[in-house]
A and B are shown apart, each in its own frame.
Chain A
Amino acid sequence: MRKYLRLTGALMKLSLMSQLEYRINFISGVMVEMGWMLVKLLYVAVVYRIGVNIGTFTPDHIMIFIGIYVLMTGFYMLYYLNFTLIGHMVQTGELDMYLVKPVSLQYIITLRQWSFPMFLTNATAGSILIIAGWHRAGLPVSFVRVAGFLFLLLCSNLLTYSLYLIPNLLSFWIISTGGLDNIIAAMWDFNNMPCMIYGKWMQRIGIFILPVFVITNFPGLFIMGELRPFMFVWAVGAPVIFFIIARLLWKRAVKNYSSASS
């Protein structure tokens, strides 16, 4: 475990150093993300302007959901690049040099490069929105709520990692997954509003079959005291189940790897 923590530190440092090599690119990356950020904040502005309520949720509650969506986007963006590179590494045989290292291949391939410009803007804005929404909605701040919320965020991160890794593993068989990537990106954006705006069946699919709604909705519902016990169990169970699926698929995928001609 210590080895992996040290390795993660080293990989983060190297990624940041690589990105800082290209100053203009780094700064423009932050700027572009801030632009996207403003677009996302427009949702909040619209919600407040029209004073929309979704069920029992006021605009302040909705701001928390949007904040979690933005924060989780930041976390996902931290390592998202690695997922998109899997196909390229399979196609070019770049994976070869990682297969011979005494380290978990899944770890080194999926958590090798860390993208900070996207993380910094999204994480900052997301955290501000959550704290502001929490405060404005007058929700209680207790140790249990904060700790439970952070724990569910951790679970959501594991779920995001597993859920979005699975389709990228198809690269080992079909090489190019550009079309799939677009569908995945669209699925992610379903979360920019609370899932209650969707129909019942859509909600069931998004919670139990492709649990994208679990990622941003469940931590928010927990803060608001609306997360029922069985949903809490699912919030913890889904990441474990999908991580196991991703792990098994990964092993199968790597066995299928045939490298590339030199």
Chain B
Amino acid sequence: MAVIEVQHLKKEFSYYKKKPGLAGSLHNLFHRETLTKEAVRDISFSVEKGEIIGLLGPNGAGKTTTLKMLSGILYPTSGQAVVDGFVPWERQNAFKRRFSIVMGQKNQLWWDLPASDSFYLNKCIFNIDDQQYIHTIEELSELLEVRELMSVQVRRLSLGERMKMEILAALIHRPDILFLDEPTIGLDIVSQQKIRGFLRYYNEQQKTTIILTSHYMRDIEELCQRAVIISQGQVVYDDTLSKINQLMGDKKVLTLKFSEDISAQQLAPFGKVRECKCREGILELPKEGIRTTMADILSRLPVEDFTVTEVPLEESIALIFRKEGAVS
């Protein structure tokens, strides 16, 4: 059963342009030409209960605007959305108790106080009883490994620790739906891994429905089965992650190590040369017939070691963006 249904969502913003320089500023003082930007043109998709989907797209594609409409922060220009039985932009308190949003670039914690004080404020706002509050804080702080940091002022925490606290603050009322807008932005690899691990575990345990936007493909690959790709305000792909490579022509990447120097010309007959430097070469090959090509390479070149991998997801997605951009 779908808990999130989005149909033909559209959001326009009005803005004005300013010519560079003082003359432009003076001109703007008296006359501003209002222009309209379509941040979201036509977006439709649905999400099943307990599902984690990745909302992907280049900067300015409309991902964050979509999340803001689904959480009721913004009114759409047109279109419909139902989230857990509610129309988000009606902003009913009952709806606000059912979801939470974490934005990597915005915070809700009080900067000068320990995060636990902000948690207490959320407890008062969400009217959570003492027992449930204590239990949630204990459980989540253990899982996120921040128990020791509960009495440290937020301003003294590292970015990774702060993001964990932001996630904890967002989960105090045990929401059914979680919107995550780049939760790992700017974090080091270890912090990213910990947050991903936590989100995966939390989703399995609580069956929380999650929509995640991230520019880190590891986040998407490790957490999402399905991706909705947005380009220029429209959905250009909505299916499982595994099918994205098929869409790109089912290719594999072969990384080779040689015992002596090899040139690009020597590699070219076997496939598309992605990289070739001295004793290392990377080839792009069609999945079909890869065994024969491999045998051919091994018999004709001094191969010391090799690995076969999928085309990196970001490359396939970037190709989708480029294709759609060219069409538009």
Residues of A within 8 A of B (CB): 3, 6-7, 10-11, 14, 17-18, 21-22, 93-94, 96-97, 99-103, 108, 255, 257-259, 261-262
Number of interface residues of B (CB under 8 A): 36
A14 touches B96 (CB 8 A): no
Q: Are B120 and A10 in contact (CB under 8 A)?
A: yes
A259 to B107, CA, bound (A): 14
* Chain B neighbourhood of A18, CB < 8 A: 110-113
Interface 9-mer from B123-131, B299-307, B308-316: B123-131
How far is the CB of A205 from the nearest CB of chain B, in Å?
30
Cβ–Cβ contact A255 & B91, under 8 A: no
CA distance A6 to B72 in the complex (A): 26
Q: Are B121 and A14 in contact (CB under 8 A)?
A: yes
Instruction: Report the nearest B residue to A99, measured CB to CB.
Output: B73
CB within 8 Å of A: which of B100-150?
100-101, 103, 105-108, 110-113, 117-118, 120-121, 124-127
Q: How far is the CA of A96 from the CA of B65 in the complex (A)?
A: 12
- Does B184 interact with chain A (Cβ within 8 Å)? no
Q: Are A21 and B72 in contact (CB under 8 A)?
A: no
B106 to chain A, nearest CB (A): 6
Contacts of B231 in A (CB 8 A): none
Chain A residues near B75 (CB-CB < 8 A): 255
Contact B96 A21 (CB under 8 A): no
State whether B97 touches A102 (Cβ < 8 A): yes
Q: List, sorted by A's number, 26 A–B pairs whose CB atoms are closer than 8 Å.
A: A3-B124, A6-B124, A7-B125, A11-B121, A14-B121, A18-B111, A18-B112, A22-B112, A93-B106, A96-B68, A99-B73, A100-B71, A100-B73, A100-B99, A100-B101, A101-B96, A101-B125, A101-B126, A102-B126, A103-B125, A257-B74, A258-B13, A258-B74, A262-B64, A262-B106, A262-B181
Which of B99, B101, B124 is most buried by chain A, counting CB atoms within 10 A of its CB?
B124
16 additional A-B residue pairs with CB within 8 Å, beyond A21-B112, A259-B74, A262-B105: A10-B121, A10-B124, A11-B121, A14-B117, A14-B118, A93-B106, A94-B106, A97-B108, A99-B91, A101-B126, A102-B126, A257-B74, A258-B13, A261-B64, A262-B106, A262-B181
- The answer to whether B113 and A97 have CB atoms under 8 Å apart is no
- Interchain residue pairs A-B with the least CB separation, the first 5: A102-B93, A102-B96, A97-B108, A262-B64, A18-B112
